[in-house]
Structure 1
């Protein structure tokens, strides 16, 4: 039984920190402007991270599999 080489894959885990940084750094999106479809920036920015996070999780999963 061989173990996969994980030395080259350590960077892929860093992708999972992007949602944390993007959503926990509140001054980045603490504003009402610009609006999109009547939603203030504060709301649509957070909703935008839902598919981005799902995509990042999928990429990490596929690369680690």
Structure 2
């Protein structure tokens, strides 16, 4: 489960892959909204790993 915590790092590591202006979302270029989308996604992943640890007693 802890490998999930590497996803935001890997998702944001390859800047050339998301360094583009299209597709725009609500007027935001892709470069910005892609990075901003990782903020709640990362929080969700941290919560999932935490809950899994609590269930296993790893706290």
- TM-score of the two chains, using structure 1 as the length reference: 0.80
Q: Rg bigger for which structure? A: 1
- 1:24 Cα deviation (Å)? 1.3
Which of 30, 35, 50 is the equivalent residue of 2:39? 50
Moved over 2 A (4+): none
- 1:18 Cα deviation (Å)? 0.3
RMSD: 0.6
Q: Structure 2 unaligned runs (5+)?
A: 55-59
Q: Structure 1 unaligned runs (5+)?
A: 1-11
Structure 1 residues 3-55: Cα deviation after superposition (integer angstroms, max 9, x where no partner): xxxxxxxxx01100000001111122111110011000000000000000000
- TM-score of the two chains, using structure 2 as the length reference: 0.87
